[in-house]
Structure 1
């Protein structure tokens, strides 16, 4: 696909990508795919903070990645207190009965923690192993008083960023 310089990032490492005069910084955030020792046998994952050199255009974007809630995520709002837009991987995926992606309850906890102006749930219906529906999340978010910041996008929808 033309990607010739891909590289992994350690947690909190930042990579700046330049195209012409535009720059995009990508900072790796903590993420954990499974609880406890199960994380050792699951693929590595990371969350990301994206920041363009022109903050007035896209602001600060958080992408959760396939993480579960865990203590290391507490550092995200300390380092990035002004997240404009957050994408949260949900679905409550279970493998052998073990939760490996955030369900509705953890999704609400993550939105509260990161505290974006706008929260967009994603990755909630990509596989048949999901146990927590989009409706579970939107209902839980409404009950938690977060409904005004949710934007639900369906396949093919877009969100204006500027």
Structure 2
């Protein structure tokens, strides 16, 4: 159980997609609901989805916001995911992603619902029915802060593009870090300095590699995920983005081994697609 008395419920559906329920709010990360198939990324790499989502968009129900680390790669936003954005009253993503989504998806009704955030920008989401003693320890809002992320080694941005992570926090609420597609522990340290210790870290892992950048890591590998947990002082770590796509080179077994080697096995919460946990 986290230091907060307010529970966080997480359901993973496969790939980077997780449903977060906290204090009456529902947030979804990087929606991907397509079946198996192939997609060409802007860099020319072909991404292959190997398994369907464990839950479809309709099963999630109404959402309050989508936390979209980036829009330019299908393993973070596929065709069904793009349609799903139109059902959300708020989509938070990178500035360049917001511009693309407004331009490409006007007919889907996105418009001003999409907001581009620079690192350390914040957005306040009112808690449902939050007033006085009804709110957890007086909390009125959930604060969402955009945080740095880098989708590969130093200098990768011209090929991989902008990426953003998020921190969710508020008085009496658990502090939750959503890494996005980040391969740079320097970004993790910046988050720890401002927000640590973290109650729950949703780490995009999987040691993603493609032919881009000579096969360099595009997300954290398992050992780095354990390092990130230690840097953050995370009480719980829920890995995502390590299954359902061919370019992930490490999975659940490697994550379990890495956390055990780091003596952090008790912090690791491994959820198979479709599974849920209350933290």
Note whether the superposition's TM-score is higher than 0.5. yes
Q: Distance in 2 between matches of 1:2 and 1:149?
A: 32
Q: Which residue of 2 aligns with 1:33?
A: 151
Residue 151 (1) aligns with residue 257 (2): no
Q: Which structure: larger Rg? A: 2
Indicate conservation of the 8 Å contact 2:145/2:167, yes or no. Answer: yes
Q: Distance in 2 between matches of 1:54 and 1:72?
A: 25
* Change over 3 Å in CA distance of 1:41–1:61 after alignment to 2: same
Residue 124 (1) aligns with residue 232 (2): no
Residue 13 (1) aligns with residue 121 (2): yes
- 2:155 is paired with a residue whose SS is helix
Indicate conservation of the 8 Å contact 2:185/2:228, yes or no. Answer: no
Residue 91 (1) aligns with residue 213 (2): no
Give the total of aligned pairs: 158
Unaligned runs of at least 5 residues, structure 2: 1-86, 90-109, 131-139
Indicate conservation of the 8 Å contact 2:152/2:184, yes or no. Answer: no
* Change over 3 Å in CA distance of 1:156–1:71 after alignment to 2: same
Unaligned runs of at least 5 residues, structure 1: none
TM-score, length-scaled by structure 2: 0.53
Q: Which residue of 2 aligns with 1:75?
A: 190
After TM superposition, give the deviation of residue 36 of structure 1 in Å: 1.9
Moved over 6 A (4+): none
Q: Distance in 2 between matches of 1:94 and 1:8?
A: 27
Q: Which has the higher contact order (CA 8 A, sep 6+)?
A: 2
RMSD of aligned Cα (Å) = 1.7
After TM superposition, give the deviation of residue 24 of structure 1 in Å: 1.5
